Amino acid sequence: MLQTLSFQPAARPAVVSKAAKGDAEYLRLTPNGATAWVADPAMATAFDSMREAARMALRLPAVERAFGMPLDIELETYDHAHAHAH
């Protein structure tokens, strides 16, 4: 008898990101549900998975051109860029 194995990738926290004047900006959802864009990914709303972040990015107006990005990579990139800028 064959068993089916379902592959469940580990959940990976993610943020919604968009390009802004050479840098990235990250989506922060306020308590009343409004959207705001912040420069620091640590201040952004963290979604449970890339799927959820991508889903939120698709709900934004097309002119935003936002994407779901892995939170850990965005934090590392931000920290690296700002450590060399000072």
pLDDT higher at 45 or 21: 45
Which band of pLDDT confidence, cut at 50, 70 and 90, is reported for residue 81?
Answer: confident
Distance, in Å, from the CA atom of 80 to the CA atom of 9, rounded to the nearest integer, reads 27
pLDDT for res 30:
93
How is residue 4 annotated by DSSP?
Answer: P
30-46: pLDDT as tens digits = 999 899 999 999 999 99
pLDDT for res 2:
59
Distance, in Å, from the CA atom of 3 to the CA atom of 31, rounded to the nearest integer, reads 45
Do 27 and 37 contact (CB within 8 A), yes or no?
Answer: yes
Is 60 exceeded by the pLDDT of residue 1? no
